[in-house]
Chain A
Amino acid sequence: MILRTRFTKVGYLKYLSHLDMVRLFTRTFSKAGIPIKFSEGYNPHPKFSIGNPLPLGTESLAEYMDVELAYWMDPETFIERMNKSLPQGIQLIESKMVEKRASLTSMISWSHYEIRFMSDKLDEEDDFEEALSKWNSLSQVNITKKRKKGKKKVERQLDIKPLIGNITYKGKDNEDFHVLSALLKSGESGNLKPIELMEAMERELDLKVDLDMVMIKRLDVFTDEDGEIKELA
């Protein structure tokens, strides 16, 4: 029995690492008396997996985990008990039973982000629309991806254009941040971090963005079924 569960990660808790999250949930299952299934062996650990971990410092309204139960507990009770023990910034918002077909990680292929930033160059809304159309006219934008391969550091060039679903400008919010909405590839079949997008835009368009002050929040994740972007089932 698997409960596919959506949860938030907001406020200061955006600074928790993936490992911190695993530890937090492990303890919370025990504290909340969730009948979670344990693995066999010397060091039994609870069976659950978090899909598509966020980069440190990114907020989210759409984190997902699959929780495997040893015996039935209805999703409402599950959510209620867990939320009592979880901190305010991490709360379960939806949970339903699913047949185990594919792992979350393999299913999640698109993420929808809200990106907020400050710019010394853009002021009027039109300024950004103009920049955006210039961006859209570029047929290819390469970034350098760094990866550690064993002890060696490997660099490779990657065209990020195919990793972008769409980008729209939402205007300024009440804290005077520019707000972008972006649908970006996410997961095993290609992954673009919002900050990488912003770095590339800064390089190409010279928007004078303060890259230390970019606030990112994941709003939703989607799966890709034969080229069609769909809600996670």
Chain B
Amino acid sequence: MKVEKPSRYIGMEQNMVPKNPDEVDVRFAFSFPDVYEVGMSHLGMHILYNLINKEPRYSCERVFAPWVDMEDQMRKESIPLFAIESKDEVRSFDFLGFTLQYEMSYTNILNILDLAGIPIHSSDREEDFPLVIAGGPCAYNPEPLWEFIDLFVIGEGEEVTLELIKIYDRHKKKGYNKRKFLEEVQATMEGIYVPSLYDVSYNDDGTIKDRFPLISGLPETIEKRMIRDLDGMFSPETMIVPYMETVHDRISMELFRGCTHGCRFCQAGMIYRPIREKSVDRLLELAEKLVDSTGYENISLSSLSSCDYSQLHLLISSLMDRFEDRKVGVSLPSLRLDSVSIDILKEIEKVRKTGLTFAPEAGSQRLRDVINKGVDEEDLVNAVSYAFREGWSRIKLYFMIGLPTETDEDVMGIKELAYLVKDLFFNRPPEERKGNFSVTASASCFVPKPFTPFQWHGQDTIEEFHSKIDLVKGSIKDKKVTFNYHDPRVSYMEAIVARGDRRVSKVLYRAWEKGCRFDGWSEHFKYETWLEAMKELGIDGSFYANRNRDFSENLPWDFINPGPSKKYLQTEYTKAIKGETTRDCRLGCTGCGIKDCAMWGVFN
């Protein structure tokens, strides 16, 4: 075989929706800009795919980034990129929609456009090419992609996607003009951003002076889209079941959206506010349909902090009762140390017992207060001790390095927590130690993100990251304790793009031209090439990554309203530096500024 894993490209999986192109009015190509098995693990894709396909006159097909071996073959044989369902060329579709889940996938977007024979720049595309749109969490700072994407969707996509397709359908039937369409949706719809209808001016120091609409009647601020009633909203009752093993090879069920903890590093925790839950009845109904239609053996209860679900015990015991004899297990992707409950762990382990992962995020209590991660050492001790008593023996701990105000002492806390976990295991009487013990501490390099209290914070330099990593690495001398860390160079590039402005789009284009793609895959990340691209364009990476911003600066993403106010983020940053915590907002409003947030009747 000339390409490995050919089942990435064949489609025909269970629950795929094949539609006759002649019988639909609008064809939407949904693209996750990474390889098949990564993209197929993304819940959002399954939602939008089934949402669009339930409309008889619209169709949605999938497009992924061909792996490098397939790309070579396609370029060699001049085969244009095709959608998986019909194998029709992507360029013959009405829409090509990208989901933006991580910045290091952006060069894949350019590559997908190129492989499809679609001009990469929005301004080079007339009516005979698909409308290229994008959404997802990274769309909250759309500017680094402004030259390539015709239209961004800001916020939750379930309603806005169909609205958009309907308006397009109307335009198409009376003679579609791209510019007219874009102007209409920008002027009339919420949660839409058409970058070509706005312009930006800069100050001498390189910061943004002003941004303004190019025609009258357009909104200055873009409001995010948000769905209020999660029970009433479309939720998929089926999922495509890939033949090949994917990253998350199971049913994924969303319990709620939003999060009340207010961790200061977390973008999702800010932009997905307020918290809104699905009911237990609705979830059980969905679970039944999903298990029936997929034959999957595991249901993952995925949300930002799944243990916070107000009816978690009831939900889990109902699911276990209902599916135990069908050998269907339930899993929670993330456990918060403070809400690990003995009952939940006991319920879950009945079917399967895997390693346990906890995320203290920072090594010292001082620093955990800075980031407002409301857990302490006692929580960790309690949770881990319980896990050992119940027979778990493999523990993973997640940390970040480079958090604001971090000292060497804080960094060494990573080693200390890992050793504490080890001692908790070996201090147990030998007859009570079950399994083969290991603890893994993983550290990622902190990337400050837009719409978080740390959006003004300058990232550590690559050298600073390395010296901190070396400090921990050099201190761990125990075979049972493993320390892993992310490549600081990747996090540096990610920081540049994450808080980039319009000028960063040139860097993306140049880096892609020079061969960058699959930058999220360490074997394909070409740091030197990225540096060359920036140098050629005269762009200083540290301006974006390492610079501390002033509160008065116009940030590139300020024109988007994600819910929480800028003033709230400023207050949180100020408190962070002082090491002051902010309570979980379910215990009482913390004034983040979300319009008419009443917690949507979730609590009490």
Contacts and interface: CB of A to CB of B under 8 A. Distances in A.
A137 interface: no
A98 interface: no
Contacts of B295: 26-31, 85
A15 B10 contact: yes
A16 B294 CA distance: 18
A16 B26 CA distance: 31
A51 interface: no
Interface in B1-43: 1-2, 5-7, 9-14
Contacts of A71: none
Nearest to A43: B352
A23 B292 contact: no
Interface in A86-124: 87-89
B243 interface: yes
Contacts of A42: 352-353
Contacts of A11: 12
Contacts of A23: 243, 245
B326 interface: yes
B2 A27 contact: no
A57 interface: yes
B11 A12 contact: yes
B327 interface: yes
A181 to B, nearest CB: 24
A31 B244 CA distance: 18
Interface in A1-48: 11-13, 15-17, 19-20, 23-24, 26-31, 38, 42-44
B525 interface: no
B296 interface: yes
Given A31-B294, A57-B6, A16 B243 contact: yes
B352 to A, nearest CB: 7
A225 interface: no
B346 to A, nearest CB: 16
B7 A17 contact: yes
The A interface is mostly helix, strand or loop, or mixed, namely helix
A90 B176 CA distance: 43
Given A13-B10, A17-B7, A20-B243, A31 B1 contact: no
B2 A212 contact: yes
A85 B245 contact: no
Size bracket, chain B contacts: 20 to 34
Interface string A69-85: 00000000000000001
Chain A CB within 10 A, most for which of B12, B326, B353: B12
B244 A17 contact: yes
Contact of B12 (A26, A30, A44, A89): A89
A120 B12 CA distance: 34
B327 A30 contact: yes
B296 A27 contact: yes
**Chain A: interface residue count, which band?**
20 to 34
B4 to A, nearest CB: 9
B297 A30 contact: yes
Contact of A27 (B5, B12, B294, B353): B294
A15 B244 CA distance: 10
Given A30-B326, A30-B327, A16 B297 contact: no
A87 B326 contact: no
A205 interface: no
A30 B251 CA distance: 14
A85 B14 CA distance: 8
B134 interface: no
Contacts of A27: 14, 241, 294-297
Nearest to B292: A31
Nearest to A19: B245
A229 interface: no
A154 interface: no
Contacts of B326: 30
Contacts of B12: 11-13, 87-89
A44 B327 contact: yes
A88 to B, nearest CB: 8
Contacts of A57: 1, 6
A116 to B, nearest CB: 17
A20 B10 contact: no
A158 interface: no
A137 B379 CA distance: 79
Nearest to B243: A20
B88 to A, nearest CB: 15
23 contacts: A12-B11, A13-B12, A15-B7, A15-B9, A15-B10, A17-B7, A19-B245, A20-B7, A23-B245, A24-B243, A26-B295, A26-B297, A29-B295, A30-B295, A31-B292, A42-B352, A44-B327, A56-B6, A57-B1, A85-B295, A87-B12, A87-B13, A212-B2
Interface of B: 1-2, 5-7, 9-14, 241, 243-245, 292-297, 326-327, 352-353
Given A12-B12, A26-B295, A30-B327, 12 more contacts: A12-B10, A12-B11, A15-B6, A16-B7, A17-B244, A23-B243, A27-B14, A27-B296, A27-B297, A85-B295, A89-B12, A212-B2
